[in-house]
Amino acid sequence: MIRFSLRRPNARTASLAALALFLLPVLNAAAQEQVPPAPAAQEPSAPAPAQAPVFPKPDPANFTAASPTKETVNAFLQASWGFDESRVWQVQAIEKTPAEGVSKVIVYAGDKSGKQKLQGMAFFALADGKHIIAGDDIISFGAHPYAESRATVQEKADGPYRGSASKDLEIVEFADFQCPHCKEAQANMDKLLVDFPKARIVFQNYPLPQHPAAAGAAAYGVCVTKEGGSGAFFTFAAAVFEGQDGLATPDGAMLTLNSAVTKAGLDPTKIAACAATPAVVATVDASVKLAKDLQINQTPTLLVNGRMIPANAPYETLKQIIEYQAKLDGVAAR
């Protein structure tokens, strides 16, 4: 987010708790190091029956900042974490800092079962009331933290789509044709199409600089969409992902892309000529800029009505979050 180092998540090693931290996404190790641990009394020395955690009583002396209010912080955390009914938290402090208008917020979080230790987390709320700093990231803040991103996506996400023409529930996938994790995520995307027939599911190009064939594949995809529409694009995309290993060399990439164009029912020579035009290159560049403007720094990433989610997260978790976000926005999920 503020830094555009392009990392790729590994869904196989992500637990639900780790995913929840990403989805905030404020709770990284750098922030946690600045926060005092929960009191030792909350950490039993021997196994005990699972029970809801007991939070330490907040000290009123630790609420020295006028903004944000505890209500705003709780509304933000509810929007961020409310999809997980087992998660509980308590705002422990909202403190003034030496920087005018900047407040330090400390939160303790755990789960209703008590199986997870209480964890201390911190972030800094900025004077504009709309953003927080957590570790290296600047993140939208407030009771409706995804509204601005949602409006941006509704206006500017112009990739091919499947499903509904309506943007009431819009799921935008930012992906790179040469990214292995993007290939793995296509199984999730196909399931979402079935489970959320009222959703508009958009493919938005985000070729990464470390993948030499990705930008060319993205340009081919733009031209396939121009010539054959969204249906042809998704046939092309499935074929490119299936033959992704072929993108590793220039000759292999040409063969892979031409084969995928043929499977989409189009002329490879015509598509290749189209892909080389400045207008198409500019279209791909604009899609990359959109991703960066939205502070997306990894592929594959979904934006669900503006809410950022890793596209290769466990599928049941994806469904849970999409249903929750649709409920927050007052739109039908199915």
Last residue of a domain, one of 104, 127, 145: 145
**One domain for residues 70 and 159:** no
Name the residue range of residue 172's domain.
148-329
pLDDT tens profile 208-256? 999 999 999 999 999 999 999 999 999 999 999 999 999 999 999 999 9
Domain containing residue 269: CATH number: 3.40.30.10
CA distance linking residue 172 with residue 305, whole number of Å: 8
Note whether residue 289 is domain-resident: yes
Count of the separate structural domains present in the chain: 2
pTM of the shown model: 0.83
**One domain for residues 50 and 110:** yes
For all residues of the chain together, what is the average pLDDT? Answer: 87
Note whether residue 139 is domain-resident: yes
Which runs of consecutive H residues, i.e. helices, occur in 139-213?
147-156, 180-195
**One domain for residues 88 and 198:** no
Last residue of a domain, one of 111, 145, 179: 145
Q: Are 249 and 190 in contact (CB under 8 A)?
A: no
Note whether residue 141 is domain-resident: yes
Sign of dihedral through CA atoms 166, 318, 158, 223? Answer: negative
**One domain for residues 25 and 170:** no
**One domain for residues 76 and 198:** no
**One domain for residues 324 and 249:** yes
Q: Which residue has the higher pLDDT, 125 or 5?
A: 125
C-alpha 175 chain-centroid distance: 12
Note whether residue 200 is domain-resident: yes
**One domain for residues 231 and 310:** yes
Last residue of a domain, one of 125, 145, 165: 145
pLDDT tens profile 75-92? 999 999 999 999 999 999
Note whether residue 123 is domain-resident: yes
Note whether residue 4 is domain-resident: no
**One domain for residues 135 and 218:** no
**One domain for residues 156 and 138:** no
pLDDT tens profile 151-205? 999 999 999 999 999 999 999 999 999 999 999 999 999 999 999 999 999 999 9
**One domain for residues 31 and 170:** no
- pLDDT at 64 exceeding the cut of 80: yes
Note whether residue 161 is domain-resident: yes
* CA-wise closest residue to 162 among 193, 184, 187: 193
pLDDT score recorded for residue 11: 33
Q: Are 264 and 221 in contact (CB under 8 A)?
A: no
Note whether residue 226 is domain-resident: yes
**One domain for residues 121 and 257:** no
The pLDDT confidence band at residue 114, using thresholds 50, 70 and 90, is confident
**One domain for residues 132 and 260:** no
The pLDDT confidence band at residue 32, using thresholds 50, 70 and 90, is very low
Q: Which residue has the higher pLDDT, 78 or 46?
A: 78
pLDDT score recorded for residue 50: 62
